[in-house]
Each structure stands twice: as structure tokens, then as C-alpha cells.
A and B are shown apart, each in its own frame.
Chain A
């Protein structure tokens, strides 16, 4: 049985015509390391019980919290900033949007949201100024005041993360960069959100959902807290579709990233977990199915960097 499967895969790997089989074959190999029994889940390539996974993930992020941003920049060579910018562009929030950023830890998405909403507001004001030629000093000063005291239109962002350390780092960053209004920090579990139903316009989870023990519960909670018409956005590492890039990516992930983790953050194991957890996360279409199962409609995904990262989007209608 194993021999015949092996033969099929060998033929697939060496045949130019059967490119699809090639990716399935590769998927089988890495997927095989991620198969688990009932009540168990995967922590990278290790098999652990579901309760253990939560604790282990907590310890991983507790230890990397202070160096998280530096590591992100060095591992992705700064490209993670572009990915997050693209996520915000896809979100295209207008002033007045209520955003819930889950697993938002150090606040990257929240700060980008605030900048985006502010620049939209500035743009709107400029449009207004162009049309009204005669503005009194009072009106001009009022527009400056509004900008500085609170977020335009009553926009709000709540950053929720299960890890206190990550939120502490995020809060310090916020103070350092001067973000104070319209931004709140809450320690909470994505599987059991401390928010009421139908509260938020947008729910984002960036590079967090693969660390959640019960992804389906997190998706159901996302559905619950969103307002009707609300949007679910998930930015996550996914499966690469190009075979050459996939090989380079695997090489980089398993040879370079843990070494960087050891040099910069002094933590080889956490970054080994990181690259393994990426391999064990479902592929784009499978995750799309999970999002649809939670009740979201018009679920789409968009690959970035040939599938290294994918943005999944769904609506609660």
C-alpha cells in the first residue's frame, strides 16, 4: 500500500504535466506530520492535548513579547508591514468604524487603522475646505481640535489578546507613538470573547488564528460579535502555490528563522514552533470552508507573496 502511494507520488514529482498532483503530494507529506487523534491537537509538529496547547502557546508569546516586532522585521525582511498595509487597504475603514482586533498583541493593525481613519478624515476636510472658500478662524481651529481630542467620527479600536505581555508591549508602543484616543486594550480569549453580540463593524485577526486551539470556536465568536453587515478579515500564513518558491521558503523557514530566533530573541524553540505551526495550518480553500461553516457569506481569499500569506474575508449578512 505504502509502496504504491510512493510510486504515485514519485511519478507526480517527476512529471511536468501533473503539477496539481505535485502540490497534493507535498501537502500529503507535510500534512501527514500534522494528523492528530481526537482530543489531541498539534503544537507545531508535536502532538499535544488541547489544554496543553493553550499553555504552550502562552509561554511562547510570553517569552518573545519584547522582541516580537524586531523578529517580525528580521524574519520577513520588513515585508510584514506591506502585508498589514494591504490588509488595511482591503478593509478600507471609514471614520466611525468600530474595529475589534483579536490576537492584536503589539497593536500593529490597530495603529494602522487609526492612521488610515485619520487620513481619510483629513482628506474629507480638505475636500470641504476646497469647496468653502471663506472659513472663519474658529471653524479652522475647531477642525484641529476635533482631530486631536478623539478619533474622527467616533471610530474605536479594541485590541484583544490572550497574552498580557504582548498587550503591555503594545500599550507602551502606543504611548511612545502618541496613540491614546479611541484605543482600548483587553486581555481575552478568542474562543470566549468578553463582548456582547452585534457590537463591531470589523473583526480582524492577523497572524493569530493558527495559535488558537479551537479555530471553529474562534470563528463562531467572530460571527457573534460582528454587527449584521460586519466584515471578518483574517491575515495568516498559508500554503505556497509555486513549487520553486515553496522549496526556497521551506529552506528559509527551517534553516534561517530558528537561527535568527536564537540570535535575536535567544529562543530557538519558539521560532521552531512558529514555522511548524505555519505548515500545520489548513490551506487556503480548507480555511475558506471553515469560515463558511461559521456562517459567513461571500467568503473570499487573496494570496499575497505567492501564497506565503493569505487574507480571508467574509461578511455577516
Chain B
């Protein structure tokens, strides 16, 4: 069983590197495969953007750990807000921090801001 993992892993690595070379060569020569775009460059760009951006697809899974209610993503402050409890969870480097202790500090700030708005 274990040699299979190693062999399949090696095979996968080989196919990935071979495909990469073929794709970049094909792209240069106007490839007959319309779908296989020069993958490396666009992926590198995506990788540079990803650390800061938050993936909204996560919202499908995430809820407040305390009340288990859905959250709202606030793009301006880059936080996930639970309106009911009045707490916000910070997102640092694209990773949401869902520890209740991390959120309570921002709670005071949110409560301070609200009376200013009204």
C-alpha cells in the first residue's frame, strides 16, 4: 500500500511538471488547446492577491461560534459582523479569526461607534 502512495506521488509530480512545461511551450506557439491558458503567470498573480483578500465562499460555512448565527462580511473594516450580539471578528491576512476572545475587543469599538452614528 505505501509504495503505491510514493509511486503515485512521484507520477503526479512528474505529470505536473511535464504539463507545466508543455503548457508554457504551447502557449508560446499558439496552442491548439483553447482551455489551457498560460497557467503559471496568472496563478502567481492570484497568489500575490490572495493573502490580503478574503474568500466570500467561506461565508457559506462560517457562523458565530457563540450564537451559531450567520455573519455579515464588512469589506470596509475587513471584519465578520454578528449584528445580534454586536461583535465583529477580524480577518488578518485573509484568515478570519473566530476566537470569541479576539472579537470582544472590537465589540467596545463597535458600541462606541454606534452612538456617534445615531
Contact = CB atoms under 8 A, between A and B. Distances in A.
Contacts of A199: 61
Interface in A185-228: 185-189, 192-197, 199
Interface string B35-67: 110010001001100110001011001111110
B93 interface: yes
Given A158-B61, A164-B92, A168-B93, A187 B99 contact: yes
A180 B65 contact: no
B86 interface: no
A196 B61 contact: yes
A194 B63 contact: yes
Nearest to B61: A195
A130 interface: no
A171 B93 CA distance: 10
A162 B33 contact: no
Interface in A32-52: none
Contacts of A144: 33, 35-36
Nearest to B54: A184
Interface string A139-155: 01110110010000000
A195 B95 contact: no
Contacts of A189: 65, 98-100
B35 A188 contact: no
A300 interface: no
B34 interface: yes
Contacts, number: 89
A89 interface: yes
Nearest to A168: B93
Contacts of B32: 137
A240 interface: no
Nearest to A147: B19
B8 interface: yes
Nearest to A200: B61
Q: What's the interface size class on B, roughly?
A: 35 or more
B57 A186 contact: no
A195 B71 CA distance: 11
B97 interface: yes
A194 B98 contact: yes
Q: What's the interface size class on A, roughly?
A: 35 or more
Given A171-B51, A188-B65, A194-B62, A115 B95 contact: no
A56 to B, nearest CB: 15
A193 B5 contact: no
Contact of A145 (B35, B51, B58): B35
A142 B96 CA distance: 34
A162 B99 contact: yes
Contacts of B66: 192
A175 to B, nearest CB: 5
Contacts of A175: 47, 50-51
A167 interface: yes
Nearest to B102: A187
Interface of B: 1-2, 5, 8-9, 12, 32-36, 39, 43, 46-47, 50-51, 55, 57-58, 61-66, 68, 92-100, 102
Given A189-B98, A189-B99, 8 more contacts: A115-B12, A148-B39, A164-B92, A171-B95, A186-B62, A186-B96, A187-B95, A187-B98
